[in-house]
Structure 1
Amino acid sequence: MNKTLLAGLMALALAGCASKQPEQPFTLTLAHINDTHSHFDPTDARVTLGNQAVFTRLGGHPRLLGYVNALRQQAARDDQPLLFVHGGDAWQGTGYFKLNRGAMNADVLSRMQLDAMALGNHELDLDNGRLSAFIQSVNFPVLAANLDASQDPDLNGLDNLKPYVLYAFDGNKKKRVESVEDAGKRPVVAVMGLVLEDMANIAPNVGMLRFEREVDSAQRTVRALREQGVKYIVAVTHLGLERDQRLAQKVNGIDVIVGGHSHSLLGDFSNLGWGDGGPYARQFNNPDGIGTTCVVQAGQFAQTMGQVNVTFTLDGRVSRCEGGNTLLSDNVFYRDIRRGDNHRLNEAQQQRVAAAIEAEPNIKMVAEDPALRAHIDKVYLPALTKAYGDVVGHVPLLLKHVRLPVEGSGSRVAPLVAASQLYWVNTPEVQAVTGRRADFALVAAGSVRNSLEPGALKEGNVGLELLPFANPVSLVSLTGRQVTGLLLETINASLPSAAHTGRFPYGAGLRYTFNETSRGRGYLNRIEYLDNGQWQRIEPDTRYQVALTGYHASGNDGWNTLFDSQQAFTDRLDLAFVNGKLTGFPVARLSKNVQGAIEVHYINQPLNCKTAGVACNTDARAFIDYVRERRPVLTALPESGITLNRL
């Protein structure tokens, strides 16, 4: 028998065997990002390789695109199903957002060809008209199964705002379908979205939106999908890791949760000097005792991409879930964060670093996508460069911002922000408007958006990056008992593993010691304020003038004591510029509307930050004035005033 005939017969035999093969388990790859916060350019970073600290740049959207395109090419070669999803909070974070107000996010994210994105809380920072324009501009669905937009005139009826979306797969090829019937025999993956049920207490502009309970809505949506015949369900959420884990343990039928909001870089990065963020792709048992749910998240600021591979049993349950987060590095390295030409490693040193990176599983050198890089540089970068304005000071050494103090070391930036507000409200110019003197200042860790890198500090670094939310500085009187209650509620809420730590309180003119007595709980055994150069005990019934942002003065983001203390009346004063003149806006009381959002009721003229001629960014103005007038060489304060004794 000739070889050609034999080969043909063997091929037929193999084909016959293949036709009788049992159905194969389905495997899905998810590439995921979250909390990118308009970091279209890479960010400076320090990594440890071996025993050597080197400085490079991580991430940025062109590098994300370069990496996900490589994953797509590999998936195509392997004929492997792949989805690319975003866990929300694409908005805010850099000057790019302040200048383009969502339009650049829509442009760049659409070029990245996402398959779905969860609605984050910062997508509600402007108004629903701008959010509507964003949702209608992007070429991927924005998902929120527990959002009721039916009464909101801007978001009601948007085709691209959905509770979930269905993808049918034929190997690597995917197609959006409206139903399981439309998919024929192809496997269907549902991607559903979930947003914060307490969004009205976190986002400043929710309009007429209503937010339903996360667990109830998730279970209802899963039930509806199962009834349609959907076997595989992915939830893209913006809830934070702690709530994602709770969701996994309280809802039956979600296979994978791809999260955001808590900025959790899951995985052990201690090999790079970044610490251990806890297990990636941890699986939790569902309440029915049968199913399991795999939970992942991918850090922040477009520095990292997660990749999780999920294999299902024939009846649709998760049998394997594994993968990891990868830091995406530039290929140029320095010995100093200032990144001058004289700090650049020589060729031999660069090669050693590259070899060290090649040996590590959780960092890769990735080239930027050249087309996206060129587009950003041409269309958006010139205006950003111009907007940064004058130099107000210099930062000689890296000032690192961390939200929650770890092993006795906390943020070096948040105490400076608090100090700037205390200084500013006590200047003669501001006191002439308020008629008051502040005793101390409080700042939530989440109000501070980044570390301060060595080099010149420009106005734009402050107003567009460090403090981008344009919050008015407020003065409000609180009793010592209320101050203590506020500290206790915000510290205790920040301590549990995977908690949202943006509410953690830093201060100026105030110091405290907190002792943890059980995991995530503890007590204050010292709380003092600085009075004429002397530390004095905070007295329970004495009233103190406290400086803080208007956002937190209203009790948003879990600063509930402040809302509770101002429901009947308050002496609070919000400070903003009107046509260049500093003006005080006295507050009468606070209330909540039907959506649960906090409303501020003013005594006379209301403060509307959207009105022409009104500038509410006195938080950024305070920091700029503080640096220019008191700290032109900006270094860390000698101490933060916080002693946090963990178990």
Structure 2
Amino acid sequence: MKSYSKFVTASATAALSISAGSVYAESPFEDVSKNYEEAVQFLADNDISKGMGNGLFGTYESIKRVDAAIQLARALGFDAKDTYEDAGFTDVPARGEWAVNALVEAGIASGKSSKKFGSNDLIARVEAAKWLALGYELTIDFETTKTSFADVNKNWAPYVDALQKSGMAAGKSPSRFGAGDSLFRGEWALFLHRGAQIPDGFELSIIHTNDTHAHIENVARKATVIEALREENPSSLLVDAGDVFSGTLYFNEFKGQADLEFMNLLGYDAMTFGNHEFDLGTEPLAEFIKNARFPFVSANVNASSDSHLSSLMNETVTDAPMDGKVYNGIIKEVDGEKVGIFGLTTAETKTISSPGDGVVFENYIEEAEKAVSSFEAEGVSKIVALSHIGFQDGGGDNDVTLAKEVEGIDVIVGGHSHDQLDEPYIDETGDEPTIIVQANEYNKFVGTLDVIFDEDGLVIEYAGGLIKVDEQNEDDTYVFEENEEVKNILATKYTPAIDKMKAKVVGSASAALDGERASVRTKETDLGNLITDAMLAKAKTIDAETVIALQNGGGIRASIDAGDITMEEVLTVMPFGNALAIMDLTGAEIKAALEHSVSADLDPETNTLSQNGAFLQVAGLKFTYDSSKTAGARVTSVEVKEGGTYKVLDAAKTYAVATNAFTAKGGDNYEVFKTAYEEGRVSEPGFVDWETFTEYLAANPQVDASVEGRITDTKLPQ
């Protein structure tokens, strides 16, 4: 395996720029100002220049051609002990002969004439531009005849242009390069230092987001960040690893189209599907895809049998993708190099979302291997996976396993697990390293990754980090200003409707209601009781025989403060729009479901159940369990409220049980519910959870919910 390294320390909050982060010893020179300090120390540390003696570097002294040649030769790695062809110059001092000969032999420098190098002449800025462009092998367009500088003629224009585009040099003013001006030794040090930072190989820059979940309230600042990154590197790829859908009022109102307008405006290059893209079935997703001005990649989602998605799917890898279509993979050309991009979505989507029967989630390892093979068959050796399977997620598929199992993936841009990877993770299992990145959630961060490939397409260097979109200064102002165009679109087109929804009061709570993740996924809570009471009340209007309601803790996403309850709070608590379902279950099946509900491992720190989205909040029954017992044999008693009194659960009796459609179809791995659904024992009235909840609040405007012993762990002190 070839060597690779992390080539920068990426911290791009305010500066939005990549720079080499080296730590130097204290400068030995007395005449070096702060602007030149790092560059001069770089030359000293790397034996490129020892200065002029007597503690002076000669920062503001003009540099002679022979001295510039010696320093450039050293910086480029030429060795004074090696033998080079004699260039034939008669004016080169012995100390500089090796360097001049080396540069001439390499085609980097030339003499003033066939016999004279011009050793003691001062090197002009345009001459320096040519040496640097040739020496550092910059991309030079020899057809260039003009630059933005009036004092650069056509003979020097290609080299000055190359320096400008590489970021190595700017002019002395917007219209003047200082073409004939001589260089100070300090300026030459700056050039050589910058040259040392230019990657040796093809550099791919990726800007990435994931799990934004309709949090577009800060999209104007996000736009500023992305535009600055794109201005810094116009060839950057902008990609998303899924879960744009679900999470805020913007999604409830606009079903992803608000997010999409800004994604189109920012110029995303590709996106893969997250599990939440399927929360409302496939029709809203199909509209999202159709209106996108970029392609989607999905190697393991087969929707050929889905009525809404089938016409959009293309089971192929292509170098000519169309906007608003889905491909197994796409090939993008970046600075003349081909880059392959494919997508993966977690197989858990089938159980944690609502994709319907027409969507199949195929094995992610097998489909990734196929995608890599397809790219390689097209001569593509630089491969990026947009992955919505989680970083080290325990759901059976994750990025670390993908990196270990599938050879040939260079970069994995991840999502699903909401990990905040402040630095890239590198896996070294196979013959080639794989870099994994993920940018947390909710548009809090924009991720950056720069990867350098060698000529064989192998990652040899990398750098990455997260830019905090809402970063603030010490005076509490935002570091990033809002993009005015994006700000105006958000304010005029989308925010008014959201403000109306936010302002609506739908009830009142006498005390705060606990919907914290650590609570609703481990124990009975007052908010869980209120939600299931509302569900049971609604179900009884449809089927009066309904006696039980069950709500998965993972579907409760926030608490409610004491006082007025607004629509904003309700939709934040229940953002997924899950519809009501009523199941016919035996007592034995109900007990099996309760066992699954409390099957999580014990948390060693709290000695209570670990958080589990499958944990059920309940109404119409109460049960006890012993968490110290083996999972699957913990439930010790179950009673069902019938006719106003609690009765022992009858294993053979059939009960009508309300839940949400997600859980009823086997979400959170409720196999017992999935069986009932497949056997036709589930009806789907279609009332969404937040509507059911707000109806209940309207009928009971003064909420006084409490924890009342519906769920009891007998292991704990009572």
Give the conservation status (yes or no) of the 8 Å contact 1:446–1:502: yes
Q: Which residue of 2 aligns with 1:436?
A: 545
C-alpha separation between the residues in 2 aligned to 1:494 and 1:25? 49
C-alpha separation between the residues in 2 aligned to 1:11 and 1:481? 82
Q: Which residue of 2 aligns with 1:166?
A: 331
2:300 to 143, 146, 160: 146
Deviation at 1:455, TM superposition (A): 6.2
C-alpha separation between the residues in 1 aligned to 2:209 and 2:559? 21
> Is residue 295 of structure 1 aligned with residue 436 of structure 2?
yes
Q: Which residue of 1 aligns with 2:204?
A: 28
Structure 1 residues 4 and 330 mapped into 2: Cα distance closer, same or farther (>3 Å)?
closer
Structure 1 residues 566 and 102 mapped into 2: Cα distance closer, same or farther (>3 Å)?
closer
Which AA in structure 2 matches 1:284? Answer: D
Question: How big is each residue's C-alpha offset from its partner over 1:474-522, in whole Å with a ceiling of 9 and x where there is no partner?
Answer: 34343444234334446658999xx99644433344455564899xx78
Question: How big is each residue's C-alpha offset from its partner over 1:23-49, in whole Å with a ceiling of 9 and x where there is no partner?
Answer: 8144434332222222222xxxxxxxx
C-alpha separation between the residues in 2 aligned to 1:511 and 1:204? 29
C-alpha separation between the residues in 2 aligned to 1:517 and 1:365? 53
C-alpha separation between the residues in 1 aligned to 2:229 and 2:469? 13
C-alpha separation between the residues in 1 aligned to 2:562 and 2:444? 20
Deviation at 1:117, TM superposition (A): 0.8
Deviation at 1:295, TM superposition (A): 2.8
C-alpha separation between the residues in 1 aligned to 2:457 and 2:257? 39
- 3-state SS of 1:163 partner: strand
> Is residue 369 of structure 1 aligned with residue 512 of structure 2?
no
- 3-state SS of 1:329 partner: coil
Question: How big is each residue's C-alpha offset from its partner over 1:283-306, in whole Å with a ceiling of 9 and x where there is no partner?
Answer: 3345xx323333333333323333
> Is residue 547 of structure 1 aligned with residue 658 of structure 2?
yes
Structure 1 residues 537 and 299 mapped into 2: Cα distance closer, same or farther (>3 Å)?
farther
Mark the structure with the bigger radius of gyration: 2
> Is residue 283 of structure 1 aligned with residue 426 of structure 2?
yes
2:634 to 520, 524, 530: 524
Q: Which residue of 1 aligns with 2:412?
A: 257
Give the conservation status (yes or no) of the 8 Å contact 2:505–2:567: yes
Structure 1 residues 325 and 643 mapped into 2: Cα distance closer, same or farther (>3 Å)?
farther
Deviation at 1:327, TM superposition (A): 4.4
Q: Which residue of 1 aligns with 2:381?
A: 231
Question: How big is each residue's C-alpha offset from its partner over 1:590-634, in whole Å with a ceiling of 9 and x where there is no partner?
Answer: xxxxxxxxxxxxxxxxxxx5xxxxxx22x3243224434446357
Deviation at 1:325, TM superposition (A): 4.1
Give the conservation status (yes or no) of the 8 Å contact 1:24–1:314: no
Deviation at 1:257, TM superposition (A): 1.7
Structure-1-length-normalised TM-score: 0.67
- 3-state SS of 1:229 partner: coil
Structure-2-length-normalised TM-score: 0.61
Q: Which residue of 2 aligns with 1:220?
A: 370
Uncovered stretches (5+) of structure 1, i.e. residues with no partner: 42-59, 171-185, 268-278, 332-349, 355-363, 577-608, 610-615
Q: Which residue of 2 aligns with 1:482?
A: 589
Question: How big is each residue's C-alpha offset from its partner over 1:539-574, in whole Å with a ceiling of 9 and x where there is no partner?
Answer: 75565543312332232452221122454463x554
Q: How many residues align?
A: 517
Q: Which residue of 2 aligns with 1:595?
A: none
Q: Which residue of 2 aligns with 1:97?
A: 251
Which AA in structure 2 matches 1:236? Answer: L
> Is residue 418 of structure 1 aligned with residue 532 of structure 2?
yes
> Is residue 384 of structure 1 aligned with residue 495 of structure 2?
no
> Is residue 448 of structure 1 aligned with residue 556 of structure 2?
yes
Q: Which moved more, 1:230-239 or 1:449-458?
A: 449-458
Give the conservation status (yes or no) of the 8 Å contact 1:34–1:297: yes
Q: Which residue of 1 aligns with 2:225?
A: 67
Give the conservation status (yes or no) of the 8 Å contact 1:513–1:644: yes
Higher relative contact order (CA 8 A, sep 6+): 1
Which AA in structure 2 matches 1:627? Answer: L
Question: How big is each residue's C-alpha offset from its partner over 1:442-477, in whole Å with a ceiling of 9 and x where there is no partner?
Answer: 212343344446663234653x54435544433434
Which AA in structure 2 matches 1:187? Answer: E
Q: Which residue of 2 aligns with 1:473?
A: 580
Q: Which moved more, 1:6-15 or 1:81-90?
A: 6-15
C-alpha separation between the residues in 2 aligned to 1:89 and 1:35? 5
Give the conservation status (yes or no) of the 8 Å contact 1:627–1:634: no
Q: Which residue of 1 aligns with 2:445?
A: 304
- 3-state SS of 2:702 partner: coil
C-alpha separation between the residues in 2 aligned to 1:494 and 1:564? 25
Deviation at 1:18, TM superposition (A): 3.1
1:317 to 439, 446, 458: 458
Give the conservation status (yes or no) of the 8 Å contact 2:524–2:711: no
- 3-state SS of 1:139 partner: coil
Structure 1 residues 561-580: aligned runs within 5 Å: 561-568=672-679, 570=681, 572-574=682-684, 576=685
Which AA in structure 1 matches 2:671? Answer: N
Give the conservation status (yes or no) of the 8 Å contact 2:521–2:553: no
C-alpha separation between the residues in 1 aligned to 2:629 and 2:228? 48
Q: Which residue of 2 aligns with 1:624?
A: 694
Structure 1 residues 471-510: aligned runs within 5 Å: 471-489=578-596, 502-508=613-619, 509-510=621-622
C-alpha separation between the residues in 2 aligned to 1:208 and 1:83? 32
Q: Which residue of 2 aligns with 1:247?
A: 402
Give the conservation status (yes or no) of the 8 Å contact 2:341–2:386: yes
- 3-state SS of 2:440 partner: coil
Which AA in structure 1 matches 2:427? Answer: F
Which AA in structure 1 matches 2:412? Answer: I
C-alpha separation between the residues in 2 aligned to 1:310 and 1:634? 56
Q: Which moved more, 1:397-406 or 1:365-374?
A: 397-406
Deviation at 1:405, TM superposition (A): 5.0
- 3-state SS of 1:131 partner: helix
Give the conservation status (yes or no) of the 8 Å contact 1:144–1:194: yes
Which AA in structure 1 matches 2:441? Answer: Q
* Alignment root-mean-square deviation, CA: 4.3
Which AA in structure 1 matches 2:227? Answer: N
Which AA in structure 2 matches 1:310? Answer: V
